Structure 1
Amino acid sequence: MNFPEAFKTNLSQILGAELPAFLKALESPAPVSVRLNPKKKSELSALKIEGNVSWAKDGHYLQERPFFTEDPAFHAGAYGVQEASSMFLGHVFEKVVDRKRPIKVLDLCASKGVQTTILASLLGENDLLVANEIVKSQLSILKENLLKWGFSNVIVSNQDPETFADLEGFFDVVLVDAPSSGEGLFRTKNAAFSEWSEANVQMHATRQKRLLSAAAMLVAPKGVLIYTTNTYNSTENQENVKWLNRTLDFETMDLEMPTEWAIVKNENCFQFFPHRTKGEGFFIAAMKNLSRDAKFVKGKPDLNRLRREQRAILKDWFRPEVFEELEFLYKNDGNIVAIRTALLADYGSVLRALAKRSSGIEIGIFKGKDFVPSHAFALSDLIAHSIERLEVPAVEAMKFLRKENFEFSTGKDGWLLITYGGNAIGWVKKIGDRINNYLPAEWKIREDLV
């Protein structure tokens, strides 16, 4: 690579004698890594595991990059593709977040939801996760990735961060995975390399201050703000952290880690370099809110509940231990969402504050007295273990995901949950000799099989 001189000068000030090794690492191929979904079964027969990611208990390196679209386990949410360094978020979260009670978490810049799924993996059944992305074109991918992960207590929003004002002090944890100049992605994203300039760095640093300022107001007293970027320079990293601490009464939190991980620690901020660790460039800092009262506006959701006889029909579809904890509410379009009763007040506050959002998990619709389950419900963590399942091999699973005819043997009519590796990939309904595939059209795989 023909690196910009200004970039090399800046990195020489950071790395000193390590600069040649760093530049050489950027010339080498980037490692490929995946992160397993701890709430689903790990069917990884299509992957060639090379080793474990030291700082992520569910992270694994691969020998080569497969064609993930051909692996049904990927579509079932058994794992996600993620750059290894950025998995460090999970380690930081577990070290700095108080889990003695249910918590509310916001991913303010969720993008496609890669980091959001780390948060979903760490949250429990009484925790709430809000995933916000300002770029509307990213929303469908964000929603798809969260549905695959199967965590139910999610609200997805499409708001400018500054429109969250009515949720001041509401969240126990706010993640700002900020858009950056992308220096840490030079060897995986050509655009990051070709578009780099000192002016671009300054532009991103200014935008990041705006994001951090908006995010800080949303953090509850003694809550945590986590800031991450995919870049190396101090302008976007340490300087922004110092600015926030100085301006809004936060302090950077310290945490220990094994020295063999070779992560650079500087003023309680953590930086990954590709010549030291097997991964890309990544920066992270966790900051505690030292002051500020919570001033969020409480609200109540509109409760258009199901009729008693409809709720009775749903009982056999859900895990018994969660069914009694759920409220089932009609949306305006007739779809039904499931929300945990304990979270109704929190949902109400978020829905009151945000205009562009979708809440709860859609479980399906009623057509007369018949319940038609949704694809989101199939992938969720709510579904009863007693629901009739049909395990299929990879070839038949891929035919299902392409909405092609596929072979299986069962004499029973009705709804069947198609699974691969023990994980659900969608619904079919058998009526006599006919099989109806209920995979949504937008989820259909269109690429040709290799």
Structure 2
Amino acid sequence: MSQLPEEFVSKYQSLLGEKESQIFFNAIKNDNTKKGFRLNSLKNNFQQVSYSLDKPISFADNAYYGIVSGRDIEWVSGTVYSQDPSAMYPAIIADIQPGERVLDLCAAPGGKSTALAEKLAGEGILVANEISSVRAKILRENLERWGATNVVITNESPEKLATKFVNYFDKIVIDAPCSGEGMFRKDPDAMEYWSQDYVIKCQIRQKEIISQAVKMIKPGGKLVYSTCTYAPEEDEQIVSWLVDKYNFRILPVKHYQGMSSGRPEWADNNEQLKETIRLWFQDGVGEGQFAALVQAPDTAELGTFNKSKKKKRKNNSNTNAQRLDKKQQQLIDKVIDKFNLPTQLVDWPKLAFNSNNHVYLPVVEDSRLQGLHVLNNGVELGILKKNRFEPGHQLAEVLGQNHQKQVVELQSEDSYQRFLHGETISITTDLIGFVLVSYQGHIFSFGKVGGDKMLKNFYPKGLRK
């Protein structure tokens, strides 16, 4: 364990007092980290996992304490997501309902986005945004595994998003970039770059992000603000600023065992700040977390911006995107007719577009997304090639929502690991053509069976291990 910065020690001795601060410092040094995972209820057989379910996390559905490996079939198939237990809480207090429009503004690596998408249950829209291109790629991979059908993934600045989604979202989640004090135990390197100056820099950036978010929320909409730091400048003081500047209202959230209240005295003494949540290391839930739920006023003018008026367009305005013609539909149907489609995909012939031979079902009209860096809009069914259609990996993960018959089950750990590596596998089956590939009952890829009974590998090269 690295040495705690002197400035940090002095600060929390002043804030907490000698006795309470020592308990806090000892909890950091004890390195008693707790790991957790969530089961994905979107998947057909999500409860059939090899992990112990004896230690449930009290405040989260289908969530447990335990360790998950990135090579396990449960992870590869999107049946589980490994996540710090404390970090699960912000998505929970968002109280997502099917049909809502939701924005995860600082979304990578995807823990909160997967939870939000799961609660939407295929209805409504989730826009998951990440400003870092490297982290956005990881976000896309994690959401693709999750098998959600109604997600748009963007790699944009909040400023640019705000020009496209004025007063659009019912709920916004901001897990803001922060000074990372709540990660000191998990990531000791965070101590190396910590300083009080860095805390203030983070506070400035957090205000900039929120200033864009308020332009995108509907009147009366709700916003979850969270960080993985303990700094009052980035926690209670940000919430106070949001209330004062934009007339938001702090809403009560349920406090479970191991959760502490926010500290009004560390901001402007607004007693409603006690409704916010602090998860200290010594609370024993997980790593450090702050979370608050606030509600926008019932007015159309939340920020100093102009709501542009645009004529509605009936057609998709992406110049490269076109409706499928009859021949293309037939090529696609020849492949996917064998599979049991989730409800959201049943009408694909009417809903799908072809853009540069990539066939996808958008959940947000392309006209709204023009000018944004979009990594994914809805579900990519696959790619049209010369006189044939090749189904995509995202479709395989989506099909894991339903029971399927066109499936090849790998019979051994060795076969599973070889397939992950990209190898062709010799199998015994009566199936022919494109099939779903599963291991221990978890679908995770497409394959193709030829007359020689060899299972050709369609697991994406970028994911191979």
TM-score w.r.t. the length of structure 1 is 0.89
Cα distance change, pair 368–357 in 1 and its aligned pair in 2 (3 A): closer
Preserved contact between residue 324 and residue 354 of structure 2 (Cα < 8 Å): no
For structure 1, the 5+ residue unaligned runs are: 446-450
- In 2, the alpha carbon distance for the partners of 1:348 and 1:73 equals 34
**Residues 173 and 223 of structure 2 are in contact (CA less than 8 Å); yes or no, is this contact kept in structure 1?**
yes
**Structure 2 residue ranges without an equivalent (≥5):** 264-272, 302-306
Q: Secondary structure at the match of 1:166?
A: coil
Q: 1:357 to 1:403 in 2, by over 3 A?
A: closer
Contact 1:306 1:329 in 2 (8 A): yes
Verify: 1:207 aligned to 2:185, yes or no. no
Task: Say whether the 8 Å CA contact 2:172–2:217 is kept in structure 1.
Answer: yes
Partner of 1:436: 456
1:193-272 maps to which residues of 2 (within 5 A)? Answer: 193-258=191-256, 260-266=257-263, 267=273, 268-272=275-279
Inter-CA distance 297–401: structure 2 relative to 1 (3 Å threshold): farther
2:56 is matched with 52
Q: Distance in 2 between matches of 1:265 and 1:176?
A: 18
Mapped partners of 1:273, 1:230: distance in 2: 10
Q: CA separation in 2, counterparts of 1:444 and 1:290?
A: 48
What is the match of residue 448 of structure 1? none
Cα shift readout 1:190-244 (whole Å, capped 9, x = no counterpart): 3211111000001100111001111111111111111110000110011111111
The aligned amino acid for 1:278 is: V
2:295 maps to: 288
Q: Is the 8 A contact 2:91 2:173 kept in 1?
A: no
Contact 1:318 1:382 in 2 (8 A): no
Candidates 307, 322, 343, aligned match of 1:304: 322
The code of the aligned residue for 2:356 comes to D
Counterparts of 2:30 and 2:238, CA distance in 1: 30
CA RMSD across the alignment: 2.4
**Change in 2 beyond 3 A, CA 1:180/1:316:** same
Letter in 1 for 2:436: L
Residue 348 of structure 1: how far off its partner (Å) = 4.1
Does 1:374 pair with 2:392? yes
Counterpart of 1:31 in structure 2: which amino acid?
Answer: K
In the alignment, does 2:128 pair up with 1:131? yes
* Structure 2 SS opposite 1:167: coil
Matches within 5 A, 1:314-333: 314-319=336-341, 321-326=343-348, 327-333=350-356
**CA 1:385–1:425 in 2, change beyond 3 Å: closer, same or farther?**
same
Judge which range, 394-403 or 314-323, deviates more: 314-323
1:402 counterpart = 2:416:
no
**Contact between 1:226 and 1:285, CA under 8 Å: does it hold in 2?**
yes
After superposition, the Cα gap between the structure-2 partners of 1:226 and 1:384, relative to the gap in structure 1 and judged at 3 Å, is closer
Shift of 1:134: 0.8
Provide the rounded CA distance (Å) in 2 between the counterparts of 1:162 and 1:411: 54
Task: Tell me, in whole angstroms, the C-alpha distance in 2 between the residues paired with 1:353 and 1:223.
Answer: 26
Report the CA distance shift for 1:350/1:382 in structure 2 as closer, same or farther (over 3 A).
Answer: farther
* Residue range with higher mean Cα deviation, 69-78 or 351-360: 351-360
* Residue 273 of structure 1, CA deviation: 0.3
Residue-pair matches, total: 431
Residues 361-380 of structure 1, C-alpha deviations (whole Å, 9 max, x = no match)? 11112335533211110001
Contact (CA 8 Å) 2:342, 2:401: kept in 1 or not?
Answer: no
1:319–1:385 Cα contact (<8 Å) kept = no
Contact 1:36–1:42 (Cα < 8 Å) also in 2: yes
In structure 1, give the amino acid aligned to 2:124. D
Counterparts in 2 of 1:308 and 1:322: CA distance versus 1, 3 Å: farther
Specify whether residues 381 and 414 from structure 1 end up closer, same or farther in structure 2 by C-alpha distance, changes over 3 A only.
Answer: closer
Q: State whether residues 390 and 417 of structure 1, in contact with CA within 8 Å, keep that contact through their aligned partners in structure 2.
A: yes
The CA distance in 1 between the partners of 2:371 and 2:115, in whole Å, is: 25
What SS does structure 2 have at the residue aligned with 1:145?
helix
Contact 2:276 2:290 in 1 (8 A): yes
What residue in structure 1 maps to residue 358 of structure 2?
335
Normalised TM-score (structure 2): 0.86
Check conservation: 1:54, 1:261, Cα contact below 8 A. no
The letter of the residue matching 1:84 is P
Counterpart of 2:451 in structure 1: which amino acid? G
Which amino acid in 2 is paired with 1:337? Y
* Structure 2 counterpart SS, 1:175: strand
Q: Is the 8 A contact 1:166 1:296 kept in 2?
A: no
CA–CA separation in structure 2 for the residues paired with 1:311 and 1:117? 31
Q: Is the 8 A contact 2:126 2:152 kept in 1?
A: yes
Map 1:338-349 → 2, pairs under 5 A: 338-339=361-362, 343=363, 346-348=364-366
SS in structure 2 at match of 1:418: strand
CA displacement at 1:158 relative to structure 2: 1.2
Task: Point out the more displaced range, 411-420 or 218-227.
Answer: 411-420
What is the CA–CA distance in structure 2 between the aligned matches of 1:36 and 1:190, rounded to whole Å? Answer: 29
Deviates more, 1:226-235 or 1:428-437: 428-437
> CA 1:161–1:79 in 2, change beyond 3 Å: closer, same or farther?
same
Given that 1:224 and 1:287 are in contact with CA atoms closer than 8 Å, whether structure 2 keeps it comes out as yes
The answer to whether structure 1 residue 275 and structure 2 residue 245 are counterparts is: no
How many Å separate the matches in 2 of 1:431 and 1:334? 25
Deviation at 1:356, TM superposition (A): 4.3
Aligned-partner Cα distance in 1 for 2:372–2:26: 47
Q: 1:246 to 1:230 in 2, by over 3 A?
A: same
User: Aligned partners of 1:411, 1:154: CA distance in 2, in Å?
Assistant: 36
**CA distance 1:360–1:284, shift in 2 (3 Å):** same
Q: How far, CA to CA, are the matches of 2:436 and 2:400 in structure 1? A: 13
Task: Give 1:149 shift.
Answer: 0.6
Deviations 1:400-427 (CA, angstroms, capped at 9, x unpaired): 1111243432133211211123321111
Moved more, 158-167 or 359-368: 359-368
Quote the residue 1:350 is aligned against.
368
Are the structure 2 counterparts of residues 412 and 50 from structure 1 closer, same or farther at C-alpha, using a change threshold of 3 Å? closer
Deviation of 1:6 (Å): 2.4
Q: Deviations over 1:317-341 (max 9, x none)?
A: 45274444444433432010023xx
Q: 1: CA distance between counterparts of 2:38 and 2:117?
A: 13
**Equivalent residue, structure 2, for 1:172:** 170
Report the CA distance shift for 1:178/1:337 in structure 2 as closer, same or farther (over 3 A): same
Superposition deviation, residue 439 in structure 1: 0.9
Letter in 2 for 1:365: I
Separation in 2, partners of 1:132, 1:389:
34
Question: Deviation of residue 381 (structure 1)?
Answer: 4.8
